[in-house]
Structure 1
Amino acid sequence: MATILGHHHISMITKNAKKNDEFYKNILGLRRVKKSVNQDDPSMYHLFFGDLIGSPGTGLTFFEIPMAGRTYRGTNAITQIGLLVPSEESLHYWKDRFEQLRIKHGEITRYAGKKALPFEDPEGLRLLLINNNGERIPEQWRNWDKSIVPMEHQILGMGAIEITVKNRNKLERTLTELFGYVVKNRTEEEILLQSIEGESFGEIVVKQLDGPNEKPGKGSIHHLAIRAKDDEELAYWEKQVKARGFSSSGIVDRYYFKSLYFRESNGILFEIATDAPGFTVDADIETLGEKLDLPPFLEDRRVEIESQLEPLD
């Protein structure tokens, strides 16, 4: 039986790739595991940050859109990203670090049943550091020993992802009936769901909010990708999405993984992505993310593409 194994990656919009690169590498201590371009519009960067090799479940990715304006907050959007850290001590480390570096942040609070520290990136993207408290993480997640952040406080990978919609019951049914998510907790304010029961690395928090839809801009979240084990399971999910009545992109070969995209009833864009082959398919682990990598179908346009991009390093 096919199973959603948790989050695969999450993709956002940035107005400035250079500043974005600086923040996620030098403030959050993540590794830039791939410097590439939007395969549908190669005039813009697509940057990938994560653990040592950008393992599924650790990936934060950004499309650079220099003309992007501000984000107008609203409903029917993915509204916050949870990132797991090892301990409560790690939350205090990060709070001190954010204060020293003048990063916008809140106080340590509770979120999805765990202690958490809310903060924002320079473009207003809303994130949380969540205390994983020694709970199990996927075995493929691997620390990066060259991170600017000490190993004992490094970001592990993705935790609870918050989605705000006008009709939370419809989203809940899609997640539970189509993908097999289980409800961990339910209150008037939110529903906490898990892709694998008892595991926090695949959690989704669903909130309900009426009003105007969010208007995306810099610092907004474009889509959430969830994990399919392999090509066979992705083909299975393609059939299930179609049987549910959703239209989809069909299976798309992104070179680093294969994907399927669809929008659920509130308009939230989901991607289902395979684990393999991963970001080392065209780069050594030691030099991952250092040069501009292009999928084979764009390689003959390298000179043209590089001429349109502002160098990052």
Structure 2
Amino acid sequence: MYQIPGHHHISMISKNAGQNNHFYKNVLGLRRVKVTVNQDDPSMYHLFYGDRTGSPGTELTFFELPFAGQTHPGTNAITRIGLLVPSTDSLHYWKARFEELGVTHSGITMYANRPALKFEDPDRLRLVLLAADGEKAGHWEAWDQSDIPEEHRIQGMGTVEITVRSLDKTAGVLAELFGYTEVSRNEREAAFQSIGGEVFGEILLKQMDGPSEKPGRGSIHHLAIRVKNDTELEYWADQVDKRGFHSSGIVDRFYFKSLYFRDWNGILFEIATDGPGFTVDGDVEHLGEKLDLPPFLEERREEIEAKLTPIDEG
């Protein structure tokens, strides 16, 4: 059985690409590594932020939906994203920065047994900075043009929170299908790690009754977990099928290949390969500077660009 190395990326809904671009580049100091479109609906932007090359485990991705309404929080949804920073001192740096820039935050607290700073982006997406104490996403690469001091930069994804009606159903998917290790549990919560002791593959399950979340701006569409290559993806596709889940089948996204399925609580998971990555159609120094399209959409570039509102780079 293959081991899941950790998170690959996580995808959200944003109402305004310009506002989103400003927050993740200029406030959080991430690199915008790819400007492309939703391959299933090319009328909307798909923006990717991460480290220097958009390494797996560092990617935050957003679909722009200008007419997205408010998210109505509920259960059976992915409900918070953890981002790793080097130390508790980094949390104090970020608290001061958030206060200076008017970012909604909780103050320094504890989350998933780590010092933490909860905050929200302009779409009210719920995030939390976690003091990593030496841990960082797999092969995070520093981006030298970030305005954030190197000792405080975000170093990829940490704990991802999923809220469900039936904790045991999603716990079974993580442990029995994907081989995650259960590292803690109480009556209403359980934490799982893809690699024992490593926060960059951690999922925190929370049990909550009530209506399902109604998605909108700031909601999380899906979590993608990593596999190394096509061979491993084919293996996991077979495992998903054997356990009775309906899947998308393997989809070639050009920058990676992937498969999508919903678990018994309706949580949308993606399984995505590490490569070929975002440099397949661009050099490292100029990633994210222009609209990139996969080859099968390139012949529609003029039509696609006409429907997109230019992103405000301010």
Normalised to the residue count of structure 2, the TM-score between the two structures is 0.98
Partner of 1:124: 124
Counterpart of 1:275, as a letter, is D
Distance in 2, Cα, partners of 1:188 & 1:202? 22
For 2:59, the aligned partner's letter is G
The alignment covers a number of residue pairs equal to: 312
**Residue in structure 2 matched with residue 109 of structure 1 by the alignment:** 109
Are positions 1:272 and 2:271 aligned together? Answer: yes
Q: Report if the CA contact (8 A) 2:74-2:214 is conserved.
A: yes
Q: Say which SS state the counterpart of residue 107 (structure 1) adopts.
A: strand
Query: How many angstroms does 1:135 deviate by?
Result: 3.0
Q: Which moved more, 1:187-196 or 1:266-275?
A: 187-196
1:91-136 C-alpha deviation (Å, 9 max, x unpaired): 0000000000010000111111110000000110000000001236
Alignment-derived partner of residue 50 in structure 1: 50
> Partner residue of 1:41?
41
Superimposed CA distance per residue, residues 180-233 of structure 1 (whole angstroms, 9 cap, x where no aligned partner): 000011122310100011111000000000000000000000000000110000
Give secondary structure in 1 for the equivalent of 2:299: helix
- Taking the aligned partners of 1:54 and 1:188, their CA distance within structure 2 comes to 37
Cα distance between partner residues in 2 of 1:41 and 1:11: 15
Gaps of 5+ in 1: none
TM-score w.r.t. the length of structure 1 is 0.99
User: How do 1:87-106 and structure 2 match up within 5 A?
Assistant: 87-106=87-106
Are 1:63 and 2:63 counterparts?
A: yes
Residue in 2 aligned with 1:221?
220
Matches within 5 A, 1:168-247: 168-247=167-246
Within the alignment, does 1:84 sit opposite 2:66 as a pair? no
Instruction: Look up the match of 1:141.
Output: 140
Residue 285 of structure 1 aligns to which amino acid in structure 2?
V
- Kindly state the Cα deviation for residue 281 of structure 1 after the two structures are TM-superposed: 0.3
Give the aligned partner of residue 260 of structure 1.
Answer: 259
Q: Aligned with 2:116: secondary structure?
A: strand
| CA gap 1:79/1:136 in 2 versus in 1, 3 angstroms | closer
Distance across 2 between alignment mates of 1:307 and 1:249 = 30
Residue identity over aligned pairs, in percent, reads: 67
Q: How does 1:18-37 map to 2 (within 5 A)?
A: 18-37=18-37
Distance in 2 of aligned mates of 1:56 and 1:100: 31
- Runs of 4 or more off by more than 4 Å in structure 1? none
CA distance in 1, matches of 2:246, 2:284: 37
Aligned to 1:296: 295
Q: Which residue of the partner structure matches residue 285 of structure 2?
A: 286
Q: Measured at CA, do residues 268 and 193 of structure 1 come closer, stay the same or move farther in structure 2, by a change above 3 Å?
A: same
Query: Equivalents in 1 of 2:186, 2:156: separation in Å?
Result: 26
Return the letter of the residue paired with 2:218.
Answer: G
Deviations 1:68-93 (A, max 9, x none): 00000000000000000001100000
Structure 2 unaligned spans of 5+ = none
* SS at 1:297 equivalent: helix
**CA distance in structure 2 between the partners assigned to 1:28 and 1:136 by the alignment:** 16
Shift of 1:137: 4.3
1:255-310 deviations in whole A, cap 9, x for unaligned? 00000000000000000000000000000000000000000000000011011111
Cα distance between partner residues in 2 of 1:108 and 1:185: 23
- Alpha carbon RMSD of aligned pairs, Å? 0.7
Query: Match for 1:190: what amino acid?
Result: E
Distance 1:70 1:46 in 2: 20
